[in-house]
Structure 1
């Protein structure tokens, strides 16, 4: 049995997560919103984690850390905007730090998140978006069972400007009759 590479984030992760963000600030900058300097501090990470865990307790989010080969924090994956009722859906966002990029961790984490969403959470649909030129992330999503379905113009403000995104979705397996 393979050791899971996802686990729920905890406030105790704040220092390590802040250090990983600092080390990867330049690497992540083209793929994320512009971050204020305080974002990279342990106290800000701890406060953000506490807010995310409150959202998790309210069944609106599942904030994971991605674990590397030695159990260190290799990145983040979050199931965001969990919507219940007739929709039963969530959005997926993730990143892996530069020194562990390209080793299959994001794909493995995405697959685990899909399984968690469809089994433990009972969701029907997941959605994720990538910048049009982010072929690596598109490959991760395809390998995790997602399919592209639309281009969203000016979808998110990334790296300081509104950018188009390729949207992907995945559906829970239909129950057999």
Structure 2
């Protein structure tokens, strides 16, 4: 998928430096939406270790991590994950994403999520995909709505974000009603 000169690619260890850079630049803007992070998180070594752990999850079939990369410069401008993948009677996964503040409003998250939803059904055989947002994250709720997600509830004190337990709205998109693969 390419949109506005940005391509969504599978995450690789080679993205560590670019991820550390974009996360450092967006640190203040993302703080209200993120868990507390150590200083090491914002370093190339910290991102390399994080990526290696994510790739182990990918190899175990539990996570599909992506990055949004600007054509030409190779700069990372966002990330999206399909994680918590479960098969059997649940057949579900969860999505999470963020976009560099300088790239907001260009449709990257919306287009990326459409591709992840397609892959969840066609490549991974999932029945549903879920997402959660802070109760006041209207931009993320718009991305979810544009991709056919519906709100299914409220989870009080769901995640520890920006130093406190925060309420989240829960969303899902049912992809099909076929029985799970045996």
Structure 2 SS opposite 1:121: coil
Q: CA offsets, 1:100-155, max 9 Å, x none?
A: 01111111111111011111111111100000100110000010111111000001
Aligned length: 174
> SS of the counterpart of 1:173?
coil
Measure, in 1, the Cα distance between the counterparts of 2:40 and 2:134. 26
1:122 matched to 2:125? yes
1:59 maps onto 2:57 in alignment = no
Q: How does 1:25-40 map to 2 (within 5 A)?
A: 25-40=27-42
| TM-score of the aligned structures, taking structure 1 as reference length | 0.93
Structure 2 contact 2–8 (Cα < 8 Å) conserved: no
Q: How does 1:2-81 map onto structure 2 within 5 Å?
A: 3=2, 5-68=7-70, 70=72, 72-81=75-84
TM-score by length of 2: 0.91
How much has 1:174 moved relative to structure 2?
Answer: 4.2
Q: Residue 73 of structure 1: CA displacement?
A: 1.4
CA contact (8 A) 2:158 2:165 kept: yes
Report the aligned-residue RMSD: 1.4
Q: What is the aligned partner in structure 1 of residue 152 from structure 2?
A: 149
